[in-house]
A and B are shown apart, each in its own frame.
Chain A
Amino acid sequence: MATQVFVLIPHAAGKADDAALELLSAARAMFPGVTPTALVLGAGADQTAVAQEAAAAYPEVWGFSQEVLAYPNAELIRPLLLKILPAGAVVLLPHSTLGIDLGPGLSVKLGAAYLPDVVGFDGIDGSLLKVVRQEFSGQVSAHVQADIVKGAVITVRSGAFQPAQPGPAAGTVVDKSAEAAGLTARRRFVEVVQAEAGDVDITREDVLVAVGRGIGEQDNLSLVDELAEAMGATVCCSRPIVDAKWLDKGRQVGTSGATVKPKVYLALGISGAFQHLGGLKGSPFVVAVNKNPKAPIFQAAQVGVVGDLMELLPELTQQIQKAR
């Protein structure tokens, strides 16, 4: 079907997010033959830089530079998109805190279908688009079908699509800043309060031992510490561990924590909810240990062990110490 596809390019500090290329892959997979248009909203030099970067992959980039867009406020972006998008447009957003904020309302205002948190594509039949979603923290998946005859707003889960290779020829940037003039919203951005920096920077570590809810009790963390020490690795964790205040926020991997790019990632008692995996980038070698053979982490891992951490950890620590 003939449709126009737009991709909102997420960016920060003058650089496009990894999702920019993943969204391009998703767009190409779902709408082959359609040339997607990148939308780069921002302000000043940052916006210009990102627009140029986007043009390396996207044949056409629409740039919107306005001071109010310096920080992405969904309440400002939504009316802007409403104004500039043609009828029946398909918009791809990252399923990020911005996408979650922007997408549902945008779909209503556009009269388009909303397909959130898409992890896969399962075909298109006329105006019926079929995608894959997950429910119950990834315990089950579902095929979801939407009629996109009046357009669609699709948010794509981070890491679900491989980043696209940038095209050979650079695209063009069309400056449409004038259309973004005079935007106001009933929600005004004030500031970002940075998460407290911890004692370690897990984003720079090559070998991470990650611990999740499966460790059971706080005292058992000592077993993880010992293993990490034997490996020469750094301990990080999933959200429940931070919520329980067992480890600092600075050690949390995931969409609401840090994004890490280690070489080796040992996931202990982590079920592998996408919020956690969303923070794991750079194709590390993932080893997962979990009691539950159905834990989604085993889908993300290269090597899996179904077993009891309390038994395995001391043994592993001992053998590593011996092996040295």
Chain B
Amino acid sequence: MEILVCVKRVPDSAENEINVAAGGADICREDLVYAVNEWDNYAVEEAIQIVEREGGSVTVVALGDAEIEESVRREMAMGAEQGLMLVDAGFAGSDGLGVATILKAAAQKKRYDLILTGAQAEDGAAQVGGMLAALLDHPYASLVNKVDVNGQTLRIGREIEGGSQELSDIDLPCVLSIQTGINEPRYVGLRGIRKVASVEIPVLNGADLGVDLASVGKAAAKVRRVDYFVPVVSAGAEMLTGSTKEVAAQLVELLKAKGGLN
């Protein structure tokens, strides 16, 4: 099975405090550490495990500036055979549809049986997978937490409300967005990354992909982020202060008053 996994390089919010830069034009990026979006690691791991069982190969694709090479190499070190970088100044500022349009062109460079994305990105909107499927006219399933290959169909599970799992059969080729918890992504150390350090990763631009730059990028984006801001703390949250003893005493009174002591 030929599998394409779309990954994104994002500021790692687990390791960063995210603050709004002055004016709200952006978040403060100077001290940020970037990593592969957490959900995408699960998608790559799932792809590798499918290939280990069924044969085939995994290609990792990322869109962005030259910095994405680090992310693509990391995922290749996990065991993805091929990498693909989509880099063009004209791609910058694309909205979800723009990104999906570029990825669609990459996905059509070869016949992929299965395309995976992470269910969402730290700084994203859980949208690209579904849009890519629609552009390719493939069936789609989001929040997938189980994949079993059954010939030309997959038996998949989706994580739905209440922690239940919705099982479906889906025809190949298809697009799935992968939810965390589906597997345990393997560790990639410095050694793993060094092993793939010299593997050549093709870099494709808009012309290579046959993407009309007028249809992507900032100018074509229907949806734009105007600014970032920190929401005002709701008026209701009264903050208790004082020593631990004093705070506890206040809490006891409040809990009593509100029926919190059964």
Contacts and interface: CB of A to CB of B under 8 A. Distances in A.
Interface string A88-115: 0000000011001111111111000111
Contact of A140 (B159, B229, B251): B229
Interface residues of B, number: 80
A135 B123 contact: yes
A233 B236 contact: no
A117 interface: yes
Nearest to B13: A136
Contacts of A266: 255, 260
Interface in B73-97: 96-97
Interface in B160-176: 160-171, 174
B262 interface: yes
Interface in B204-237: 222-231, 233-234, 236-237
B256 interface: yes
A136 B123 CA distance: 6
A190 B244 CA distance: 53
Interface string A215-259: 000000000000000011100000000010000010010011111
Interface SS of chain A: mixed
B227 A116 contact: no
B140 interface: yes
Given A135-B122, A299-B231, A315 B127 contact: no
B170 to A, nearest CB: 4
A103 B134 CA distance: 11
B131 interface: yes
Contact of B247 (A73, A135, A307): A307
Interface SS of chain B: mixed
Interface residues on A, range: 35 or more
B237 A231 contact: no
B126 interface: yes
Contacts of A96: 161
B260 A231 contact: yes
Contacts of A194: 162, 164
Interface string A140-160: 111111110000000000000
Nearest to B254: A303
B254 A287 contact: yes
B162 A195 contact: yes
Given A187-B169, A190-B155, A108 B140 contact: no
B161 A140 contact: no
Contacts of B124: 135
Interface string B12-40: 01000111100000010000000000000
B128 A206 contact: no
Contacts of B127: 103-104, 114, 116
A301 B227 contact: no
Given A108-B134, A140-B27, A311 B163 contact: no
A302 B250 CA distance: 13
Interface string B34-76: 0000000000000000000000000000000000000000000
B228 A142 contact: yes
A260 B20 CA distance: 33
B23 to A, nearest CB: 13
B226 A316 contact: no
Contacts of A200: none
Nearest to A265: B260
A195 B171 CA distance: 26
A121 B131 CA distance: 24
Interface in B132-183: 133-135, 139-143, 155, 157-171, 174, 180-181
B130 interface: yes
Contacts of B131: 104-105, 107-108, 114
17 contacts: A97-B143, A97-B161, A104-B134, A108-B100, A113-B223, A114-B125, A136-B27, A143-B225, A146-B224, A187-B140, A195-B165, A258-B162, A302-B236, A303-B238, A307-B244, A307-B247, A320-B252
Given A101-B143, A142-B225, A189-B168, 4 more contacts: A145-B223, A187-B141, A263-B260, A312-B247
